[in-house]
Amino acid sequence: MTTISLRKFRTLATTYGAYAGSMFSRGLELVGKLGLYMFGARALGLHDSGYFFLCLTWIGLISTVARGGFDKAVLRHMAAELAVGRGQEARKALLAGSAIVVAGGTLATLITIGLAEPLAVYLFHDPEVAHALRLSAYAILPQTLCIFVGYALVGFHRGAAGQLVQNGIWPVLTLGALFAGANTLDSLLYALAASLLAATLIGLVMVVMDRHRFLVTPSPDAPADALPALWRTAMPLSVVEVVQIFLNSLPVLLLAVFGQPSAVGAFSVANRISMLIWVVANSIGTVAAPSFAARHRQGQWDELRALNRRVRLAVALFGTPVVAAMVFFPKSILNLVAPGFEVAAPALMVMGLGQLVNCLLPCQDFMLSMTGYGSVHRWLNIAQLVVCSALCASLIPFFGMMGAAIATAVFIAQGAIGTTLAVRHLMPKAW
């Protein structure tokens, strides 16, 4: 084996080894979340499971607003600055982002407590929602910090550890609490908050153990130009993050307005199953994100293009079998959850088709965000929001669950196609 081919083999082994480690973390997430959704839905029933999934949706939405894009901005700055030996700049970005995210999470918690009653009465037309929303407030700050700390670890090129903190630990702990007796809506929401706090503390310990990585000094060939201020990187990414979580939440929220809690519960389970493709793509994209930032910062276009191609291939290999199961066996999959949820089988099939496009054109949103094209990604997301809002408003009141599924499938496919076209146009050398 020649030196070049040996080097290429080692690069591929390292890359796919990192993907495998990341997939293990997401596999733990899969076991925890699917178990939590399945056994939680059985324990709570269709009615209370609708409240539980509505709370999960709200927590995800308000936590994303609270982070304001500073989580991914810190990831980009850490990875890019450490790649050229600017350890102090990377450390400053982490500390500044931490302060902003703590403040945002605290404010989001207080807003949720204050708005629980008006939201329940005037938006959801169900006073019982207020109690559930107030309980969900306990989980907002822990989730906000959990996601942020995970991205800080990814900035250290510890993608598997970061995703373990963000997505692997808390579902397993919450599922364990469910088996231990937290089988009511109140106790399950308390367990969720405690599990997110535990994952955050574990992540903080990992970050502290890696603080020596900030001791590097600039390399002789480090680029002279500085990265934009952290808030400038965060601004377009904040819009992207908020729009993305709003896109995922809007069909559920409108279905809650126009439908019954049982329909919300069934659709939420189907939607989260379809999101397994997003889990695969996000897992591999998160591992690749710091390398995207580093290669771009160093001007290594050949390496960036090769990495992008490996990422797309890995997602397709991991994801297409999952899509096939959703499209061809939706009722069987939903029957594993509990009797009654198979009513969402047609919706799962439709959303699976949308995820197929995402599976074949994956991770280009990470490429845009990590290479300074966050503003382009922002406008693409806003276009998705316009299309999704129009479809939800016109379809859900008349077609209910199927209307929500069609809107979801369309905006997922639109996002994958839009980001791919943008990368090919703006960075043809990276494609």
Low-confidence residues of the chain: pLDDT under 70: 1-27, 46, 219, 221-224, 338
The one-letter amino acid code at 126 reads D
Instruction: Name the residue among 278, 289, 287 with its Cα closest to residue 352.
Output: 278
Cα 381 from Cα 228, distance rounded (Å): 22
DSSP 90-141: HHHHHHHHHHHHHHHHHHHHHHHHHHHHHIIIIISS-THHHHHHHHHGGGHH
CA distance 202 to 204: 5
Q: Give the tokens for residue 291.
A: 């390398």
> How big is the CA angle at 60 (ends 142 and 242), to the nearest 5 degrees?
115
Q: What is the pLDDT of residue 409?
A: 95
Do 255 and 396 touch, CB atoms closer than 8 A? yes
Residue 228 burial (CB < 10 Å; 0-12/13-18/19+)? middle
In Å, what is the CA distance from 176 to each residue of 31, 170, 191?
12, 10, 9
* pLDDT score of 22: 59
Q: How many helices (H) and strands (E) does the chain have?
A: 17, 0
Helical axes 3-67 vs 169-179, angle rounded to 10°: 60
Calpha distance 1→25 (Å, rounded): 33
DSSP assignment of 352-412 equals HHHHHHHHHS-SHHHHHHHTT-HHHHHHHHHHHHHHHHHHHHHHHHHHTHHHHHHHHHHHH
The predicted structure's pLDDT at residue 45? 80
pLDDT of residue 7: 54
**First and final CA of the chain: distance in angstroms?**
28
Integer Cα distance of 276 and 344 in angstroms: 16
Taking the CA of residue 74 as centre, how many other CA atoms within 13 Å lie in the half-sphere pointing to its CB?
25
Q: What pLDDT does 205 receive? A: 96
Contact in structure between 374 and 364 (CB atoms under 8 Å): no
3-state secondary structure of 65: helix
What tokens does 241 get?
Answer: 């993050």
Compute how many other C-beta atoms are within 10 angstroms of the C-beta atom of residue 270: 31
Which residue is listed with tokens 């939800």? 392
Query: What are 292-311's pLDDT values in tens digits?
Result: 988 888 888 999 999 999 99
Measured torsion, CA atoms of residues 254, 259, 262, 265, in degrees rounded to the nearest 10: -10
Question: Residue ranges per domain, the chain?
Answer: 14-430
Which pLDDT score, from 0 to 100, does residue 15 have?
A: 53
